[in-house]
Chains A and B, each alone.
Chain A
């Protein structure tokens, strides 16, 4: 190898000269500046000295005046004001310290403090009864946790989470828990455990089933607002409900909606726990859950809110799939088939790899929500459309939803006090229409190899074939 060629950037003689010149100039400038500064300093000092002399003179005269004045009146002399305040003066007012009003702990009371009135319902996760507290006569709802004798994991974690979450929640749209009481057999591990909840007369599902006319749109708005502010509270406190549906929403005789049944709920904090996709009753389950995602967030609850909104308007559950595969095809029928544009990255979800989707123009396979709800205003339709976005990131958060145009438009949300009342069903025998239950742990269903390419067959023909088509926009 020959000697290294000289770099283009290496300094040459000219460079050195140039640098030296620059340095010199700089020094010159600095010297001038320093000189100027010095002069100014001198001037200032002189002025200050003059001022001081003058001040002392006036001070002296002032002093004399003060002394004269002090003798005639009780005015304190000015000089006293100049001395610093004594340091112990500042600490004398006691600082007001923040004190939390917290309780203590004591053993749970016995269920004998309550008298059962009648059963309300027997659900997947427990049994609920109406009862009165003997001491006060208050009516409450008692919910018994379902315990399995000999469960190798002890008390069910879902039940413990429900207790933990309800204990921490205080919001007018979330059902309140008063205490936890236990059966009398305290030595046994499978001693029964009851949650004492506030009693609310109705659940939204049975009202919807029995009402002759659907809710007015002002009523729908009020119900949705209450639901959303409850959900916003939960999400703000890092709680995912994971089983929002009309049968878990309670409505009091005063039109107050309360979110209930936290058997599926959990805290999602830091570190982010591993979440199961086996949550949310099938009809209200978000597409990302159906496609088997393991990292979902508050948007799954917002999908359920969208389903509930549709149900409040039509009185019918929006998407009644008979199983996971049927459910997702119903979702795609309503909301359109996902594409890489409408839902970036959905192909990477576990159950999406084997999906065969119809290859159609996005126009023909878009959302038909607008057409399904012809009576909804444009704002209402845009809200429902955004809640039922396939892409979870496109759904609004509960907080954003509260600000939506839809709630500000006429008709305005009806005040709760003006809500119609309904005959209370709690306690009466009533027929229940079939509805799938909340999922049970450990029965995950892989969608497998499913062919959805047929679900839109004929749809494109409808739109293009006839001379005209009635479109409700």
Chain B
């Protein structure tokens, strides 16, 4: 049973995060999306299967529900989740490999951030000295322990992908070509990983799978059963409706972020870039380290005003 379900964020966790954001909402979303994309790219380069990379995406979303994204460098958190998931899974990757991949992705040579011109292959751009590697490894391993502690060592993630295929089989692939409809469904599920709405920590895999199938069927014009077939998969109409819209909106969201923060797509997102953006807006919000202090000041002020 536990193999099919995930621990979900509690309403109080979601509320607390929404009410004590250290960043303006749009920046926070931009950071999340950029980091999830980075994890996906690193997973590809580390030749990890999507099942592992997707788990890393989910762990990162869970971790950032308990801790401010500004507390650590984004790429380090991404690396730590990916390293942790690969270590626990069937295909472990060495810290050295992870380090190399992230060094490459952050270099000017990185193919993740197309600058328009073909990157010339310059190994010096992503060469790591022993000291660089050591520092990266220390940061990553420290974060590994920290992430585990924040999640009370629960690393279990069940993904909706296999469920979605099973559901499609039950629906006889909606009388479509198996590959087309399966591919579109999986694409929706993978895109949903990047969603700033953190769909994977608020909804169970069966709901995600059903919504992805619904979307795929709509895209392909497939005929769906006339009754409330989603109830067979234990999803109610409300939840399905929300997820269908949420999954469809990711693309627009990404487009908007690209327009709003053109600089974020040009190189690997760093905390300093976010801080610069904050300064530009005339906001000064400290990084996560002094966030608790701010909170305390807030409480003190409330007490004073009473």
CB-based closest 4 A-B pairs: A273-B90, A100-B5, A154-B141, A95-B231
Closest chain-A Cβ to B41's Cβ sits at a distance in Å of 22
B residues less than 8 Å from A97 (CB atoms): 231, 234-236
- The answer to whether A99 touches B234, judged by C-beta atoms less than 8 angstroms apart, is yes
20 inter-chain pairs at a CB distance below 8 angstroms, sorted by A residue, are A95-B228, A95-B231, A98-B234, A99-B234, A100-B204, A102-B8, A105-B7, A105-B152, A106-B152, A107-B152, A152-B95, A160-B87, A160-B88, A180-B152, A180-B153, A186-B146, A189-B144, A189-B145, A271-B90, A274-B90
Q: A104 vs B11: C-alpha distance in the bound complex, in angstroms?
A: 10
Taking the closest CB of chain A, its distance from the CB of B144, in whole angstroms, is 5
Residues of B within 8 A of A179 (CB): 152
A107 to B66, Cβ gap below 8 A?
yes
Interface residue A458 (Cβ < 8 Å from any Cβ of B): no
- Which of A37-45, A161-169, A203-211, A414-422 is near enough to bind chain B? A161-169
Contact yes or no, B87 A157, CB < 8 A:
yes
Please name all residues of chain A whose beta carbon is closer than 8 Å to the beta carbon of B140 when the two chains form the complex. Answer: 154
Q: Which residues of A contact B142 (CB under 8 A)?
A: 187-189
Chain A residues with CB under 8 A of B8: 102, 104
Q: Which residues of A contact B (CB under 8 A)?
A: 91, 95, 97-100, 102-108, 152-155, 157, 160-161, 163-164, 167-168, 179-180, 182, 186-191, 193, 269, 271-274
Q: Chain B residues near A103 (CB, 8 Å)?
A: 7
Are the CB atoms of A104 and B137 closer together than 8 Å?
no
Q: In whole Å, how far is A174's beta carbon from the nearest beta carbon of chain B?
A: 14
Give complex CA distance A167, B62 in Å.
Answer: 18
Does B155 have its Cβ within 8 Å of any Cβ on chain A? yes
In the assembled complex, which residues on chain B have CB atoms less than 8 Å from the CB atom of A187? 142, 146
Residues in A neighbouring B231, C-beta threshold 8 A: 95, 97
Judge whether B62 and A105 touch: CB under 8 Å.
yes
A102-B5, A104-B9 known; A164 vs B137 contact (CB < 8 Å): no
- Is B129 an interface residue when CB atoms closer than 8 A count as contact? no
Question: Judging by beta carbons under 8 Å apart, are A106 and B155 in contact?
Answer: no
A104-B10, A107-B66, A157-B92 known; A152 vs B153 contact (CB < 8 Å): no
Smallest beta-carbon distance B237→chain A, Å? 10
In the complex the two chains form, what is the Cα distance from A253 to B252 in whole Å?
63
Range, interface on chain B:
35 or more
The complex places the Cα of A97 from the Cα of B207 at a distance, in Å, of 11
Bound state CA distance, A125 and B223, in angstroms?
Answer: 57
List 7 additional contacts besides A104-B9, A168-B2, A180-B152; criterion CB under 8 Å: A105-B151, A108-B150, A154-B141, A155-B145, A187-B142, A189-B144, A191-B145
User: Which of B95, B149, B155 meets A160, CB within 8 Å?
Assistant: B155
Q: A182 vs B8: C-alpha distance in the bound complex, in angstroms?
A: 23
Contact B95 A107 (CB under 8 A): no
The residue in chain B whose Cβ has the minimal distance to the Cβ of A271 is B90
**Contact A157 B144, CB 8 Å, known A91-B228, A100-B1, A152-B95:** no
**Which residues of A have CB within 8 Å of B155?**
160, 164
Chain A positions within 8 Å of B37 at CB level: none
For residue B102, CB closer than 8 A to chain A, the reply is: no
Known: A102-B7, A152-B95. A272 touches B90 (CB 8 A): yes
Contacts of B92 in A (CB 8 A): 157
* A102-B2 Cα distance, complex, nearest whole Å: 8
Which B positions have Cβ atoms within 8 angstroms of A? 1-2, 4-10, 13, 62, 66, 83, 87-92, 94-95, 137-138, 140-142, 144-146, 148-156, 204, 228, 231, 234-236
Chain B minimum-CB-distance residue to A275: B90
Selected from A99, A105, A164, the residue in CB contact (under 8 A) with B88 is A164
Inter-chain contact B88/A161, CB cutoff 8 Å: yes
* Distance from B109 Cβ to chain A, minimum over Cβ atoms (Å): 26
Q: Which of A107, A186, A273 is packed against the most chain B CB atoms within 10 Å? A: A107
Which residues from A are CB-within-8-Å of B1? 100
- Contact across chains for B5 and A152 when beta carbons are under 8 A apart: no
Given A100-B5, A168-B2, A271-B90, residue A155 in contact with residue B148 (CB < 8 A) = yes
Residues of B within 8 A of A168 (CB): 2, 156
| Chain A residue contacts of B94, Cβ below 8 A | 153
What is the minimal beta-carbon distance from A268 to any residue of chain B, in angstroms? 9
Picked from B4, B83, B154, the residue with its CB within 8 Å of the CB of A167 is B154
- Contact A164 B156, beta carbon cutoff 8 Å: yes
Give the distance in Å from the alpha carbon of A179 to the alpha carbon of B5 in the complex.
19
A99–B8 alpha-carbon span in the complex (Å): 12
Q: Is the CB of A108 within 8 A of B149?
A: yes
B145 proximity list for chain A (CB < 8 A): 154-155, 188-191
Q: Shortest Cβ distance from B135 into chain A, in angstroms?
A: 13
For the complex, what is the distance from the CA of A108 to the CA of B147, rounded to whole Å?
10
Please measure, in the bound complex, the distance between the C-alpha atom of A368 and the C-alpha atom of B278, giving whole angstroms: 80
Most buried by A among B5, B8, B144, B153: B153
**What is the CB-to-nearest-CB distance from B62 to chain A, in angstroms, rounded to a whole number?**
6
Candidates B6, B66, B88, B150; contact of A102 at CB < 8 Å: B6
Contacts of A193 in B (CB 8 A): 153
Known: A91-B228, A99-B234, A189-B141. A107 touches B4 (CB 8 A): no
User: Within the complex, what minimum Cβ distance (angstroms) separates A161 from chain B?
Assistant: 7
In the assembled complex, the CB of B147 is this many whole angstroms from the nearest CB of chain A, namely 10
User: Measured between C-beta atoms, what is the minimum distance from B58 to chain A in Å?
Assistant: 11
Q: Say whether A182 contacts B149, CB under 8 Å.
A: yes
With contact pairs A154-B141, A157-B92 given, residues A163 and B83 touching in the complex (Cβ less than 8 Å): no
For residue B130, give the distance in angstroms from its CB to the closest CB of chain A: 12
Q: Which residues of A contact B87 (CB under 8 A)?
A: 153-154, 157, 160
Complex-state Cα separation, A106 to B149, whole angstroms = 8
- Cross-interface CB contact of A108 among B2, B13, B153, B234, cutoff 8 Å: B153
